Amino acid sequence: MATQADIDRVTELLGRAPQGDFDVVVRRANGDPVVVRNSPLLNDGTPMPTLFWLVGSDEYTAVSRLEAAGGVDQAEAEVDATALDDAHREYSEMRSRDLPPGHTGPAPSAGVAGTRRGVKCLHAHFAWWLAGGDDPVGEWVARRIDYASELRHV
């Protein structure tokens, strides 16, 4: 579970308070959050489709530039479709396992960033890849932004 210092820092990075519980799963060497793992439900019970959220400012900016340059369409064209489908399925199953036992209300569905097929958000794919996920789009992003950093998984 996030500490108050984590909540304060993530609030600063997002520019708003988080709307649900999260854990910091990837940090910089100095401890600053880079990726958070969200609860599948927000505090009000609304489904949260994005399990892994990129909060590191440098990473966010680099991926935003890639998206603005047409990266979503490029990734979808260049990444193996079967590997991407497998990643969506794995992500969805992982998020579903995080639901409270016996949950019967609305729940998030689909894969990375709430989509079933293709690529919707490079940030979400990259966040999952940074957190150790087998995400071919996240790996594609890392190569395109020439990403190298001293991060640590928590």
Write down the pLDDT at residue 10: 98
Write down the pLDDT at residue 34: 97
Point out which residues pair with 153 in neighbouring strands: 26
Query: How does the average pLDDT of the chain come out, rounded?
Result: 94
DSSP code string of 47-106: B---SEEE--HHHHHHHHHHHHTTHHHHHHHHS-HHHHHHHHHHHHHHHHHTSPTT--S-
pLDDT digits (tens, 9 = 90+) for 91-130: 999 999 999 999 999 999 899 998 888 999 999 999 999 9
Residue 144 contacts residue 65 (beta carbons within 8 Å): no
- Domain ranges in the chain are 4-153
Asked if pLDDT for residue 15 goes beyond 90, the answer is yes
Point out which residues pair with 27 in neighbouring strands: 33, 152
Residue 58's Cβ-side half-sphere holds a number of Cα atoms within 13 Å equal to: 13
